[in-house]
Structures are given as structure tokens and as C-alpha cells.
Chain A
Amino acid sequence: MIKLDSKVPEGKLEEKWTNHKFNMKLVNPANKRKYDVIVVGTGLAGASAAASLGELGYNVKAFTFHDSARRAHSIAAQGGINAAKNYQNDGDSVYRLFYDTIKGGDFRSREANVYRLAEVSNNIIDQCVAQGVPFAREYGGLLDNRSFGGALVSRTFYARGQTGQQLLLGAYTAMNRQINLGKVKLYTRREMLDVVVVDGAAKGIVVRNMLTGEIEKYSAHAVILATGGYANTYFLSTSAMNSNATAIWRAHKRGAAFANPCFTQIHPTCLPLHGENQSKLTLMSESLRNDGRIWVSKLKKDMRKPNDIPEEERDYYLERKYPTYGNLSPRDISSRAAKEAIDDGRGAQGQDAVYLDFKDAINRLGQKVIEERYGNLFEIYETITGDNPYQSPMKIYPAPHYTMGGLWVDYNMQSTIPGLFVGGEANFSDHGANRLGASALMQGLADGYFVLPYTIGNYLAGDKPTLVKTDHPEFEKVKKEVEDKNAKLLSIKGKRTVDDIHKQLGRIMWNKVGMGRNEKGLKEAMVEIKALREEFWKDVNVVGDSKDVNQCLERAARVADYLELGELMALDALTRNESCGGHFREEYQTEEGEALRNDEDYAFVSAWEFKDVGKWELNKEPLEFTSVKLATRSYK
């Protein structure tokens, strides 16, 4: 049994972070250069942490499996980033952003963490503006805002439909500055394959050099994982092709508890599937829902073209069911409503899709305004589908997009392995059972710029970790294990390709651990995943050797991990006998089909401890709410 100590500081909610910053131990400026910190991943959380730690004077080693730090998938975030600036004078505040986020997460996140996130959100905007991020402006030269789902205020800052790109490039330039100053050493094309734990604390990592195939060892006083989420377990998701769970999964197997693995977000506005060989799903930013109206036909199996369906025969189901939030209802609710309409046989022209229509907005504002706001998104849509969304409505469908679950961390972002810290999507900390739009960018940068640099210092000054050299027997042992695992993968020489097995896993996950889950399906999923895992280890074919570039081996190692993680996602979903946020258990719903939460029995974080492949022990961190009242989430 792991002891879960959230280390939430004492005091009033509003004062916790300020007090904690004061109470944390500091490293003498002259001593900072004596400490090495490893950062794995160079997305928003990783790059901003590396930059800030470098600035403070630590020796940072940053790792990415990409050829350049700028390629991390944070770059693909489109719509925007939330902050409680209240520049629009529409009643926003830190407390409101906190409340919206905790309510959006269906009261399954840790109050103190969420409050801190809202508190530092304003610093993020200031930081990014100073770095030269070209946010959208109003004519007076001040920053512009728009609205996102789950909020009634305009607090989302944006840079066209490329906000993630611009914020990531901001963090990337900040890190480049530290590289230039010699404080950050960047290792590209290195994939982390294990963490090295000596005497109970994280002391380094083992990576594969993806050009030479060599397994390399790196040591440090502390390790930060900022390696993103695990939505690619579904094979088809909006994640990038190479986004994967291997770093966090291998850390989990070394002792880091995995929290709330079943909390996955299915995003309502993605492009529908085109066929069997589809490699990924493309997101259409939630910001489109500011001006787009979502509808299906009132008739079943209506094969008419959308423009031929008269107004009175259209069902604007979000506006009908949730009049207050309408098309800006949160993601979990919007996705489920789409599934409901499609299951009812009312999908667009009989397909698995619903319409997202801009006709009214174009009539009201003119095409030019819509072009300015969403031009590049409309272009993306037309490029992929061949249809012009100015003329007929977009077709959209929900897709796996984000994973709220991740490695368990305390208030200091430290996992259950001392010295192993986790930031960004890779941790579980801030979004509960559902993440609101424009909050992932906020969390990544909050963790990297404003939280980890403090808490790492506290760990180094307080725990006084020592540096273990890479010739330590534990480093050798872990390196050998990684090499053996790769050798095993290459030696199977079976009949099935890696992608073939991954796609099969994806279908199991989507059908049984997707938008709607039930006991029978989850139990079946666990049996099927276990069988598929056994088949993988007997019958996969990994072509080539490990002596140079081998993308087949890279993929195989990742899929091996999904085949373990997928089972845990199903197990967690099976254990949580309630519906909350993105986790919808069909047995637990209200008469209107809304999620039925059970605060009495399930107001806790599930932190799974790895025992053996397919065996876990459940630890619970009770969630205590002192500032907000647990309420049924209503967007009606």
C-alpha cells in the first residue's frame, strides 16, 4: 500500500500557494549550479520548466523524441488559453475560473491544485506577451478574448486558430535562450524507456537514441516527466502519431501510482472517419462553437443534403437541452448528446456525424468576420474533406482527445516516487473527470513556469538528494532490462503487424471503454485486452534490428505499453460505479440521461499501484471540498 499524502498546505484556499511558496526551502543561488535536473518532453510543460529552471541556475538536461523541441503536440492546440484577467469586465475572477474548472471537472479534482491553477493563470498571459507571443488584439491595441465551453465569461486568449503553436514557440524560444546560455542541454531524438530509482528516489533515466539505436543512461538529482497523455491507447485520437504513454507507464511500473486512468476526454468537434486506413482524427477547435450551431435532422435516416433540410425540421439539440450554455456546453456533455442523436438514427446523412453550421453567423456578421475568426480552421476542413464549410455545414463527430488521468502527484507535483515530478497532461492533477476547453495550455504552462521551479527547489533544498553516477549497478540493470525487452520484441517474428494489433486494441477501447461504459462491456474489454496482449507477445512482427533508425520498433514498444494501460483504464472504469464527467457508466444516469454522480462513495482519486502485469492495488485519496459545495452539474 502506498501512502498518499497530498501535501496540501494548511490555511485558507486563497492563501495556500502564497504561504507554501514562503514555507518552501530555497536553494542558495550559488548552489543551484551544483544540481542537475532532467526534463523529459519539450511541450508546454516541459519546455517552460526547462527554461525556468535554467534561468534559476540549475543544470537542465532536456529530452525529446522529436528532431526538434518545437514539434511537441502542444503545438496543435488551436482555440486558446484561459486566464482570469477579467479584461472584458464581464465578472470574471480567479475564484470564478477556479469554480468553473472544478465544476467542469465534475468535482473530481483536488480543490487546492485547481485554485492555484486559476491563481497563476494571469501570470501566464503576462509571460507570453513579454516573450512576443502575437495574441489577437482589439483595435485599441489591447488583448482580445473569446468564450469556450463550460463558461459564461470571455476569458480565452488566442492567436488565430494556432494558440498552442504560438505558446509552444514562446516556451521553445525561452528554452533556446537557456540553451544559448549553456544552462539547458537539449537531447533530441531520444525516447525515454525507463526511470532509474535508487534507494527509493528517482535518479535518472534510460533512453533509446533513435538514430543509433543505442541505449543511453543519464543521471540527475531530480527528474521531471512532461510527456503528455495517453489518448493514443484508442489508436484513433486527436493526439499526434508519436504521442505515447511509455514514459509515464514505465515510471508507473517502477512505483509511481497512476491516477484516474478511466478519465478520458472525448472531444465533440472532430472530423468524422473516412475509412479503414485512417491514421488519426483531426480536431476542429471548440472555439467554432462560439458562432457555429450544432444540429441534426428531427427525422431518422434523413438522407437529404443539409441545406435542403428546412429550419423547422432541424433539431438544435444542445440549445434545446441546455438552453443556458447551448452550443458552449462542456465537452463531455456535448459529445454524449451527439452520440445520443446518432444512436437515435439521426446522424448527418445516415453517417456517424452531426452538423456544425455557420449559416446564421455568416448572415449576422458577414463572411469576412467569420474568415478572420476561423479562416484557417475552415481551410483545414476543406483540405481534408473537400467540402466548403462557408457553403454547407461542417460534419463533426466526437473523438478521443485528452486524458485527465495520469501519474498521481501531490501538491508539489511529485509522484509517489520521491524525486520524480510530473507536469502537464502526464499528471492527473487539475481537471478531475472532464477538462474544460482552453485549460490544457493553461495547465501546461502553469506547471512549467510557475509551479515546478518552486517545488523542485524545495525538494533539492529539503531532501538533499545525492547524484548517482550512471555506472551505478542500478543504471546498468535498468539498461539491460530495456535492451532485453527490445531484443524480445525484435525476436518474435510473428505474423501480425504492430499497427494491426494497435487498431484492434483501439476498437476494443472505443467500443467498450469509450463514451458510454457498462459493467458487462468493461469486463469483456479486460478479457479481450489480456488476450490481445498475449497474442502480441507471441505473434507480432517487428521488422529490422535495433542498430539504427527503426520506427517499427519504436511503435511496438509503445503498443506493448498500451496493451497494459488499456486494461487498467477498463479496470478503473469498472471500479468507479458512478458517472462523472467523461466517465459515463450507463448503469448510473438520471431519468433525463444525465450523469449520476455518487459523492457518498466515490469522491476520491483512484491511485493504482502496479503489482505485476495485469495486477494492481487500488489506493484512494479522499477529495475534501472546503470552499465549494458539491452540486449536481447543470448547464440547463
Chain B
Amino acid sequence: MEHKKINLTLKVWRQQNAQSKGSFTEYKVSVSPDSSFLEMLDDINNDLEKKNLEPITFESDCREGICGTCGLVINGQPHGPIPRIATCQLHMRNFKDGDIIYVEPFRAKAFPIIKDLMVDRSAMDRVMEAGGFISVNTLSVPDGNAIPIPKEIASEAMDAAQCIGCGACVAACKNASAMLFVSAKVSQFALLPQGQPERYKRVESMVKVMDEYGFGSCSNTYACEAECPKGVSVKNIARMNREYFMAKVKSQNVE
């Protein structure tokens, strides 16, 4: 079912390393509309390698929109023009013959560029390590059905839990805020009975580390939700703000 190929001009950000100055390099491509965006980049790389030129460095892994590895800013939008998908799920049928496409890395203070389109998002893991867990040891747990959870609550927790940790929310926000990402985990556990014992300690620890790594404060523009490949709701940010307020009210850490 091969459709007619479309011709495109790509302007791709190339940057040798964190210290060097980057710039756009132009590539002309002819691609099947059934191809994915990343498969188009694979093609370009294969051609570059044939010419013994260094391929474009970009990251991807599952190519099913769930691992969160991929992430490009395409024509100014994280993960491209189609809502609720990751870059790897973007297909070329969404572009027209003759289009010019700008491809850039996620840009944020907390995401330094490593090379070309590859960035360092490890700050997000540092926030998770600070408190994004429920402290239970292996095997010291009750039966799964001993904790009934209303279907709606489980479903709401799942809505938040499906965050893939890609960082598009940070790249979309003019303040490079990670509030959507952090609030998704805070919400998941704040909603569930299992998360109650550490509820306030968790949000305090996570927000503290989030601030330390240079993520900005919420811009209230909802750009994060608009670009989130899983459609994680800004309601979670509201919930996190409430949780944080309560944590400060109840906190034992009197400053």
C-alpha cells in the first residue's frame, strides 16, 4: 500500500557537544507518507553514513509512544503538530509535499544538550528519587484485594500514572517548569490509599529537588497539557499545589 512519496526540506539542529555552538543544517528528503518521522531520520542517517558523514544523533527506543525516550521539537512544537502522541508516533502523512520542517532538541535550562537532538533529562529522575515512591519492602505487603479502591479513584490515579517521563511538558513551558511531570506522580500516590502515609513528606521532598534543578514555576498557560503525549491534565498541578500547601501547614520542618 505504498503511497506516492512527498518531498520535504528539513532544517535539523546540529551541535557537536554541550559547549559548542549549534546551527541548522538543511536536508532534502523524499519520503513515503506511511513512514514515521523517525524512520525518515533513519533514512537520512543511512545516507549520511554512506557518504561517511556523521549521522544525526537523536534518541528513540520503543517507537510505540510509551518509553519516553524520543522527543523532538518539530516546527516549534514538542512531539510535533499532532496532539497526544510522542515523536515516534508521528507519521509523514501529516505533512504536505513541499513543507519545510524545523527539527530541534527539547530546550530547557534543566535539559542541557548532549549532541545534536539528544538532551540530558536526568534531572527528572533526581526528582523521582527524592520521594516518588511508596516505601514498602518486598513481600511485606497485604493481599492485593485487601485494599479495595473505588473504580473512579483507580482510574483517576491511572490517568496521572500514565506519564511517560518524556519531558515535553518542560520543553513546552516558557518557564521550563516540570510541574506537570512532578504533579502526575504526586497525584497518583495522593489519590491512592497506599500513598497516604508518606503523602505530605513526598510532595515536599519532590518539590524541593525540582526547584534545585532549575525547573521554573508554573506559567499557567497549560502548554504542558497541550503537548503531553498522554494528555496528563493540569488538574494534577492544582492538586499538587494543594498537597504542597497542606504539607507546609502540617510540616514538622519549621523553618
* Separation of A176 and B154 alpha carbons in the complex (Å): 23
Instruction: Looking at the assembled complex, report how far the CB atom of B95 sits from the nearest CB atom of chain A, in whole angstroms.
Output: 13
Q: Which residues of A contact B1 (CB under 8 A)?
A: 274, 351
A172 to B154, alpha carbons, bound, how many Å? Answer: 20
Within the complex, which residue of A67, A160, A240, A453 is in contact with B62, where a contact is CB–CB below 8 Å? A240
Size of the A side of the interface (Cβ < 8 Å), in residues, is: 84
| Chain B positions 180-200 with a Cβ under 8 Å from a chain A Cβ | 188-189, 192, 194-195
User: What CA separation (Å) do A164 and B82 show in the bound complex?
Assistant: 25
Across-interface contacts of A176 in B (CB, < 8 A): 125, 128-129, 132-133
A279 near B49 with CB under 8 A, answer no
Distance in Å: Cβ of B235 to nearest Cβ of chain A: 16
Does any Cβ of A come within 8 Å of B91's Cβ? Answer: yes
Contact bitstring B129-164, A, C-beta under 8 A = 1, else 0: 111111111110111110111110011011001101
Asked whether A52 lies within 8 Å of B138 as measured between CB atoms, the reply is yes
Residues in B whose Cβ lies below 8 Å from that of A130: 134, 136, 141-142, 147, 194
Contact residues of A between 575 and 610, Cβ < 8 Å to B: none
Residue contact A123 to B158, C-beta cutoff 8 Å: no
Contacts of A283 in B (CB 8 A): 64
Q: Which of B50-58, B98-106, B169-177, B217-225 forms part of the interface with chain A?
A: B50-58
Q: Check: A630 CB closer than 8 A to any chain B CB.
A: no
Given the complex of chains A and B, what is the CA–CA distance between A177 and B201 in angstroms? 13
Q: Are A277 and B61 in contact (CB under 8 A)?
A: no
Q: Does A132 contact B (CB under 8 A)?
A: yes
- Chain B residues within 8 Å of A70, by CB: 67-68, 125, 165
Asked if residues B125 and A69 are in contact (CB atoms below 8 Å), the reply is yes
The proximity string for A residues 165-189 relative to B, scoring 1 for CB distances below 8 Å and 0 otherwise, is 1100100111011011000000010
Do residues A75 and B134 form an inter-chain contact, with CB atoms below 8 A?
no
A440–B50 CA distance with the chains assembled, in angstroms: 39
A275/B55 contact (C-beta < 8 A), A52-B138, A134-B158, A141-B149 known: no
Residues of B within 8 A of A1 (CB): none
Question: Complex formed: what's the CA distance from A130 to B147 in Å?
Answer: 9
Task: Establish whether residues B132 and A76, one from each chain, have CB atoms under 8 Å apart when the complex forms.
Answer: no
Tell whether, in the assembled complex, residue A131 and residue B46 are in contact, meaning their CB atoms are under 8 Å apart. no
Contact of A552 with B114 at beta-carbon distance under 8 Å, contacts A71-B69, A173-B133, A180-B129 already known: no
Contacts of B239 in A (CB 8 A): none
**Complex contacts, A73 vs chain B, CB 8 Å:** 61-62, 67
**Chain A residues with CB under 8 A of B60:** 241
Would you call A324 an interface residue if the criterion is a C-beta within 8 Å of the partner chain's C-beta atoms? no
Q: By CB atoms of chain A within 10 A, which of B32, B62, B124 has the most? A: B62
Cβ of B248 under 8 Å from chain A: no
Render A128-164 as a binary contact track against B, CB cut-off 8 A, 1 for contact.
1111101111111111000000000000000110101
Check A132/B141 contact, CB under 8 A, given A162-B162, A211-B114, A275-B35. Answer: no
Q: Is the CB of B120 within 8 A of A67?
A: yes
B134's contact among A132, A172, A351, by CB below 8 Å, is which? A132
Chain B residue with Cβ nearest A549? B115
Bound Cα distance A576, B158 (Å): 46
Residue of B nearest to A87 (CB): B145
Q: Decide if B151 touches A134 in the complex (CB within 8 Å).
A: no
What A residues does B162 contact at CB under 8 A? 160, 162, 165
Answer whether residue A386 sits at the interface, using C-beta atoms and an 8 A cutoff.
yes
Which residues from chain A contact B161 at a C-beta distance below 8 Å?
134, 159, 166, 169
Question: Please, which residues of chain B bring their CB within 8 A of the CB of A511?
Answer: none
Give the docked Cα–Cα distance between A274 and B143 (Å).
46
- Produce 1/0 per residue, B34-49, CB < 8 A to A: 1110111011001011
Across-interface contacts of A179 in B (CB, < 8 A): 129
Q: Is the CB of A384 within 8 A of B189?
A: no
* Contacts A141-B150, A386-B93, A552-B49 given; does A177 touch B133 at CB 8 Å: yes
Interface centre among B38, B134, B150 (most CB of A within 10 A): B134
Q: CB distance A548 to B17 under 8 Å?
A: yes
Q: Complex formed: what's the CA distance from A16 to B158 in Å?
A: 38
Given contacts A68-B121, A274-B1, contact A165 B66 (CB under 8 A): yes
| Pair B122/A241 contact, Cβ less than 8 Å | no
Closest to B160 in A: A134
A20 to B192, CA, bound (A): 37
Q: Which residues of A contact B61 (CB under 8 A)?
A: 66, 71, 73, 240-242
**Chain B CB within 8 A of A408 CB:** no
Which residues in A have their C-beta under 8 angstroms from that of B85? 383
Q: Which of A73, A160, A277, A380 has the most CB of B within 10 A?
A: A277
Instruction: Check if B148 sits within 8 Å of A142, measured CB to CB.
Output: yes
Q: Which residues of B contact A449 (CB under 8 A)?
A: 138-139
Q: Do the beta carbons of A279 and B91 come within 8 Å of each other?
A: no
Contact (Cβ within 8 A) B39 A131: no
CB distance from B150 to the nearest CB of A (A): 5
B168 at the interface (CB under 8 A from A): no
Once the chains bind, are B165 and A126 in contact (CB under 8 Å)? no
B59 at the interface (CB under 8 A from A): yes
- B148 to A140, Cβ gap below 8 A? yes
The reply to whether A282 and B54 form a contact with Cβ atoms under 8 Å apart is no
Residue B255, interface by CB 8 Å: no
B150 to chain A: closest residue by CB: A141
Q: Which of A542-557 contact B (CB under 8 A)?
A: 543-544, 548-549, 551-552
Find the B residue at minimum CB distance from A68: B125
Q: A76 and B62: CB pair below 8 A?
A: yes
List chain A residues, Cβ under 8 A from B135.
Answer: 177
B216 at the interface (CB under 8 A from A): no
Chain B contacts of A275 at CB under 8 A? Answer: 2, 32, 34-35
User: Is B77 engaged at the interface, CB distance under 8 Å to the other chain?
Assistant: no
Binary per-residue interface labels of chain A (448-461) against chain B in the complex, 1 for a CB within 8 Å, 0 otherwise: 01100100000000
Which A residues are in CB contact (< 8 Å) with B157?
132, 134
Asked, given contacts A55-B137, A543-B52, A551-B55, whether A380 binds B89 with beta carbons under 8 Å apart, the answer is yes
B136 touches A131 (CB 8 A): yes
Asked if A279 and B36 make an inter-chain contact with CB atoms under 8 angstroms apart, the answer reads yes
Q: Hey, which chain A residues are within 8 Å of B124, CB to CB?
A: 68
- Give the residues in chain A near B50, CB-CB below 8 Å: 495, 497, 541
On whether the beta carbons of B144 and A85 are closer than 8 Å, the reply is yes
> Is B118 at the interface (CB under 8 A from chain A)?
yes
Residues of chain B from 67 to 122 with CB closer than 8 A to chain A in the complex:
67-69, 82, 84-85, 89, 91, 93, 114-115, 118, 120-122
* CA of A71 to CA of B167, assembled, Å: 13
How many Å lie between the Cα of A338 and that of B14 in the bound state?
Answer: 45
11 other contacts beyond A68-B124, A279-B36, A497-B49, with CB at 8 A cut-off?
A73-B62, A123-B139, A126-B143, A127-B139, A129-B141, A159-B161, A164-B66, A180-B131, A282-B64, A498-B49, A548-B17
Q: Considering the complex of A and B, which 4 residue pairs feature the smallest CB-CB distances, nearest first?
A: A141-B148, A130-B141, A173-B133, A274-B34
A contact residues vs B (CB 8 Å cutoff): 48, 51-52, 55, 66-73, 75-76, 85, 87, 123, 125-132, 134-143, 159-160, 162, 164-166, 169, 172-174, 176-177, 179-180, 188, 211, 240-242, 274-275, 277-280, 282-283, 351, 379-380, 383-384, 386, 449-450, 453, 493, 495, 497-500, 541, 543-544, 548-549, 551-552
> What are 16 A-B contacts defined by CB distance under 8 Å?
A55-B138, A69-B125, A70-B67, A72-B67, A127-B138, A131-B134, A141-B150, A174-B138, A274-B1, A274-B32, A277-B35, A277-B40, A282-B63, A449-B139, A543-B55, A549-B118
